[in-house]
Structure 1
Amino acid sequence: MAASMASWTCSRISPLQQKLRTDAYPSPYIRRVSLSLAQLSSQLNLRSKILNPDCGYQQLGIGAKGIGISSLLPRPSDNGRMQMLCKAEANAVGDVPGSASSEMSPFERVVELLTTLFPVWVVIGAAIGIYKPSVVTWLQTDLFTLGLGFLMLSMGLTLKFDDFKRCLRNPWTVGVGFLAQYLIKPLLGFAIALSLKLSAPLATGLILVSCCPGGQASNVATYISKGNVALSVLMTTCSTIGAIIMTPLLTKLLAGQLVPVDAAGLAVSTFQVVLMPTIIGVLLHEYFPKFTEKIITFTPLIGVILTTLLCASPIGQVSGVLKSQGAGLVLPVAILHAVAFSLGYWVSKWSSFGESTSRTISIECGMQSSALGFLLAQKHFTNPLVAVPSAVSVVFMALGGSVLAVYWRNVPIPFDDKDDFKE
């Protein structure tokens, strides 16, 4: 057995294994070991097992907040070694054979596949929007608002009050991510608009989209990149809540000199479309957990479809402008996302964060809710060109995030990577 598993076992004991050895077995009786997702995300793929030389392995179960082992755990062997069943030697990607993914239902497998392929659907949707806009342009104004609101509701359904308390336990980590989202990114958008001498409507649109909160797609990209998914969800939640103040305030400060900005209107719309559905979702999860468990099975699939439509519809609605002025509109948005991904990563490194956290903050900084920017531009600005940067941003956000995530998925994270996240 040991020989057959040799290629899957770690070649040395990691700090995590040492913690398991010292903390999990103070006596020979029944134990319950709880491991945070943050502690394991850089050590294992999200579905793995822990191998005990004496008894085989124990299955890791993954929940919304972390990973737990609940079983009858025997004493470790004489040498005290507990090996992790992982892909450490080859630094390969994917799931460990026989892991929890093999126990997923067919429906859950389909949903996971569709979610992971989100960037592909965005590209297909964008192509349809440009060449067959009538297929997707029916999703306008009220329907667009309802669709975006449902996405925020679905995010709220995955959260509980305890998740917000974690902000207080991670002030520095979340704070750096928040500053990257609402300080670095808006100033970057403003600088690009001035440097490239964009027209007032396009400059305003670029600034507006750079002031939007993180998008749900960043959580998918973080998962693919082997970043810290729990931190990604928390940062998206915090930036979403902060958007009701930060998005209208920053847009007013940075773009108010270019065109009139209705900051109050932006705040009201952000509250209605983003904050209120999120709060409703949290309340449903907190007080009606059984109901939430039933509907949350279907929300990911609906979310994938809705997100694709919300990305395709803006492209379709500005397809004429994109065809006539494509190059001049694409360059500023491409620079915005490329530099945002880079700055998010290096600011995290300069803040002494570990590799997993740095990847997470980079993706959060580079991927924002472009659909929200498009909706706000349509509702609160008379010039249709203001909405164009948000429409273009949808594609570059998805492409940039997915390419970076796939690259990082094939770059190993050190076993001794610093854990910056407290559950």
Structure 2
Amino acid sequence: MSNRGVIFFPIGALLLSLIAYFNPAPFTHVKGTIIPLLALVMFFMGMTLTWQHFKQALKQPLIILLTISIQFIFMPLFAYLLANALQLSEAHTIGLVLVGCSAGGAASNVICYLAKGNVALSILMTMASTLCAVIAMPLLSYIYLSQSVAVPVTDMMRSILLIVFLPVVTGTAINSFLGRYLIRVQGLFPLFSSVAIALIIAIIVALNQHNFASLSWAVLAAVVLHNMLGMGVGYFIPRLLKYDTAICRTVSIEVGMQNSGLSVALAMKYFSVAAALPGAMFSIWHNISGSTIASYWRQK
């Protein structure tokens, strides 16, 4: 796929999202395709990797540790400060902080792929932050919200295993043995990933159409700034430490793109529907912002 195709992807994703907002029914009817689509994207992503990519990534445990530290130190702090600065309601503050306390999301791996980051490293970062969230999320939610939430560790790890790990490993195995036969079609994988992510964003918009009625500018600003600050600090801290561009991009995306779906589920379970709004908005926004910056980085 040419760089030009990925560059126009955010425009296509935005147009599809507008269609989904004004005509949600066709998209809500296919909500069950989100997970299979994501898993299939991971499979095709794996078909651009070899075992050597993972061997090299495993030789860099310090950058994985740095990413986790940035994620669980800065993202909850940014959420808390933004909520107070923008005077969000108690429910919306809770929702934003829960987003900040979450691990990296699987969508970050796809965006990293589109941005020409280090995909193998991104996958390892997501898995590591998910494991750390078992302890970090209840602890951080207690520090910032004075209430600890129970993290569904078994469900989280099962999702990571089925949606990320197994498809990527299968694709990597195929490419490692048959890669020379796939060279001509590998250029199509970013195109498929772009279309799939655009469809996923549109489905999320359709499913959350009713939430827009209670969306205030303050909540929207908090979500956008939270994501931007996360991506910014995720990029510039590794840059200051002299890491290469691909790793800086990878850390930026991993830190800025949270597992907001988990924060929505926890907000609904332990707090209120209103508390789930920031996570729902973050699910939409971080895919749009991530794909936009991926398009910019890819052409560079």
Give me the TM-score of the superposition, normalised by structure 1: 0.57
Q: Percent sequence identity over matched residues?
A: 17
Q: Amino acid of the residue matched to residue 40 of structure 2? A: F
Does residue 1:237 correspond to 2:123, yes or no?
yes
**Bigger shift: 388-397 or 300-309?**
388-397
Does residue 1:199 correspond to 2:98, yes or no?
no
How far has the Cα of 1:161 moved from its partner?
A: 1.2
Which has a greater percent of helix?
2
On the 8 A contact 2:118/2:250 being kept in 1, the answer is yes
- Coordinate RMSD, CA, aligned: 3.7
Q: 3-state SS of the aligned residue for 1:199?
A: helix
Larger C-alpha radius of gyration, 1 or 2? 1
**Compared CA separation, residues 272 and 406, structure 1 to 2 (3 A):** closer
Does residue 1:309 correspond to 2:173, yes or no?
no
How far has the Cα of 1:399 moved from its partner?
A: 4.9
How far has the Cα of 1:375 moved from its partner?
A: 7.1
Match of 1:373 among 260, 268, 271: 260
**Compared CA separation, residues 308 and 397, structure 1 to 2 (3 A):** same
How far has the Cα of 1:238 moved from its partner?
A: 2.1
Paired residues in the alignment total 290
Which residues of structure 2 form unaligned runs of 5+?
none
Give the Cα–Cα distance (whole angstroms) in 2 for the partners of residues 284 and 375 of structure 1: 31
Q: Give the corresponding residue for 1:392.
A: 281
Does residue 1:179 correspond to 2:69, yes or no?
yes
Q: Amino acid of the residue matched to residue 179 of structure 2? A: P
**Bigger shift: 398-407 or 342-351?**
398-407
How far has the Cα of 1:260 moved from its partner?
A: 4.4
On the 8 A contact 1:154/1:299 being kept in 2, the answer is yes
Give the Cα–Cα distance (whole angstroms) in 2 for the partners of residues 219 and 338 of structure 1: 19
Q: Give the corresponding residue for 1:78.
A: none
Q: Amino acid of the residue matched to residue 134 of structure 1? A: A
Give the Cα–Cα distance (whole angstroms) in 2 for the partners of residues 296 and 379 of structure 1: 38
Q: Amino acid of the residue matched to residue 224 of structure 2? A: A
* Cα deviation 1:321-358 (Å, max 9, x = unaligned): 1123243431221121121122223322442446x368
**Bigger shift: 280-289 or 307-316?**
280-289
Give the Cα–Cα distance (whole angstroms) in 2 for the partners of residues 293 and 242 of structure 1: 31
Give the Cα–Cα distance (whole angstroms) in 1 for the partners of residues 58 and 163 of structure 2: 26
Q: Give the corresponding residue for 2:160.
A: 270
Q: 3-state SS of the aligned residue for 1:235?
A: helix
* Cα deviation 1:177-201 (Å, max 9, x = unaligned): 4533454335534554577454176
Query: Where in structure 2 are the equivalents of 1:17-416 lying within 5 Å?
Result: 108-109=1-2, 112-140=3-31, 142-189=32-79, 192=82, 196=88, 198-199=90-91, 202-203=95-96, 205-207=98-100, 211-212=104-105, 214-220=108-114, 222=115, 229=116, 231-255=117-141, 257=147, 259-289=149-179, 293=183, 296-353=186-243, 356=245, 360=249, 363-365=252-254, 367-368=256-257, 373-374=260-261, 377=264, 382=269, 388-401=277-290
Give the Cα–Cα distance (whole angstroms) in 2 for the partners of residues 179 and 346 of structure 1: 14
Q: 3-state SS of the aligned residue for 2:215?
A: helix
Q: Amino acid of the residue matched to residue 233 of structure 1? A: V
Q: Amino acid of the residue matched to residue 207 of structure 1? A: G
**Compared CA separation, residues 386 and 232, structure 1 to 2 (3 A):** farther
On the 8 A contact 1:178/1:235 being kept in 2, the answer is no
Which structure has more relative contact order (CA 8 Å, sep 6+)? It is: 2
How far has the Cα of 1:126 moved from its partner?
A: 2.5
Which has a greater percent of strand?
1
How far has the Cα of 1:146 moved from its partner?
A: 0.9
* Cα deviation 1:21-51 (Å, max 9, x = unaligned): xxxxxxxxxxxxxxxxxxxxxxxxxxxxxxx
Q: 3-state SS of the aligned residue for 2:118?
A: helix
**Compared CA separation, residues 134 and 276, structure 1 to 2 (3 A):** same
Give the Cα–Cα distance (whole angstroms) in 2 for the partners of residues 276 and 359 of structure 1: 26
**Compared CA separation, residues 235 and 390, structure 1 to 2 (3 A):** farther
